[in-house]
Amino acid sequence: MKNYALVLLLLITSLTANANETSSRESVEKLMELTEVSKMMDAMQQQVNNMFKGMSQQLGVSAEEKPKFDKYMTKVSELMKEYMNWSTFKEPMIDIYTKHFSEHEIQGLIKFYQSEIGQSMTKKMPLVMQDSMAVSQVLMKDLMPKIQSLAMQMKSDIEQSRTAGE
């Protein structure tokens, strides 16, 4: 009889844990709707496309090279749309949120994002991201030539070590 009681207790505990996880998943979905994560993903994709446009200048792409560069960047953009979109991110993000936030914390976040200040934050966050990307582009303008130089130096060093080994 003790064994049956223990099995029943374990079964109830596991069912309760699953019910809490389900509740948490539903709550996380509600939170993501409130924070308009899917729209933020779209805005991020647009910012990356804008960044690609600025890269041709940063990399010193000539007028003759620009069609090839644009063709490549279009392919990269299409790949990003295919693999880095909300439908591919949604379930893994829900898993991450349920892993790191308790139901109580998710409910607190929902309450915040339902508030006037939380709604304001949701609406302004794409603008904050846009401005942040602009700052990143400016900072990258000076960094990219240095990275290119290091890449060329590395390529040269590797080629030299390969020919020395022959």
Cα distance between residue 155 and residue 33, in whole Å: 47
pLDDT (0 to 100) of residue 102: 92
pLDDT one-digit tens code per residue, 51-106: 777 777 777 888 898 888 888 888 888 888 888 888 888 999 999 999 999 999 99
pLDDT (0 to 100) of residue 50: 74
| Domain boundaries defined on the chain | 24-147
Range 10-33 average pLDDT? 65
**Among residues 16, 39, 18, 37, which one has the least CA distance to residue 28?**
37
Cα 36 to its chain centre, rounded Å, is 14
**Does this model's pTM top 0.85?**
no
Cα distance between residue 77 and residue 50, in whole Å: 10
Handedness of CA 76, 82, 84, 86 (dihedral sign): positive
pLDDT of residue 129 exceeding 70, the answer is yes
